Amino acid sequence: MLVTLRDPRRTIVFAGDSVTDCGRRSDPAGLGDGYVKNLYDAFGADRPRIVNAGISGHRAVDLAARWQTDVLAYEPDVVSILVGINDTWRRYDEDDPTSAESFEHSYRAMLDGLDAQLVLIEPFLLAVKEEQHTWREDLDPKIAVVRRLAAEYDAILVPADVEFNRQAATAGATTLADDGVHPTAAGHQLLADLWRRTVLDRLS
């Protein structure tokens, strides 16, 4: 289902974790100060209604649990999802892993029956600490899940992991995400620009 985004009658919900949240729950406008706000500004006067439904620390299972109230309740025309890095991170900092199969099960629960254009953003990681290199064995299968689901559900795939790592090769990883996970201002702008290029090429 393709829709035109530059229409105030449309609604986009951005769902995810801290990368999407970015302080939106303490922001009177509810947008936070990350890529969602950058996209809001970039759309200009003919922007659609934009809803930020990110919550810091959430994994796919947490997002699925609040799907009805935090996403479907807005009757969105477009749903953009960025989740997965916490499903990997908790394995290494709390010994609380999420298998790729469990991740896919939660992700599918969000997508099944959803009557909206889907935008799936790859979870991403820049290995700024030596131990983060080992995270790839856990994260890469989850990225593969997102790519596979994007194809299966006819979603627009935003290749964030590919682009962040490509840009980091010249700009430096800490320029884009000083802890390897949470984007800096430059990283959020990169993500917003990538989202616009990828999505607006399809939905103009």
What residues are labeled active site?
Answer: 18, 179, 182
Instruction: Tell me the two tokens of residue 52.
Output: 């930020």
Helix (H) or strand (E) holding 50: strand 49-54
Q: Which residues of 16-30 are buried (b: 16+ CB within 10 A; e: fewer)?
A: bbbbbbbebeeeeee
> Residue 144 is which amino acid?
A
- Residue 173's region, left for phi above 0, alpha for psi from -120 to 50, else beta, is alpha
Contact 186, 176 (CB under 8 A): yes
CA separation (Å) from 131 to 97, 128, 136, 179?
A: 16, 9, 10, 12
Q: Comparing C-alpha atoms, which of 102, 108, 109 is closest to residue 141?
A: 102
